[in-house]
Amino acid sequence: MQVHVLLYDSGTDNEGVHSLELNGVTVVLMFENRDDAERYSGLLEAQDFPKPMVEALDREEIEVFCTNAGYEARFVQAGFVPQTNNERILLVPPEDNLDVSKWNEQELSINNNQTDKDDLLNEDLEDIRKGLEGLL
Q: Mean pLDDT for each 10-residue chunk of the chain (136 residues)?
A: 93 87 90 94 87 94 94 91 74 60 42 44 66 65
pTM across the whole model? 0.67
Considering its fold, how many domains does the chain have in total? 1
Q: How far is CA 134 from the centre of its chain?
A: 15
Helix (H, G, I), strand (E, B) or coil at 7: strand
Contact 30, 18 (CB under 8 A): no
Distance CA 132, CA 65 (A): 7
Distance CA 136, CA 128 (A): 13
Distance CA 136, CA 119 (A): 26
Determine the pLDDT at residue 101. 45
Distance CA 116, CA 114 (A): 7
The residue range of the domain holding 84 is 2-135
Determine the pLDDT at residue 107. 41
Determine the pLDDT at residue 24. 87
Distance CA 97, CA 11 (A): 24
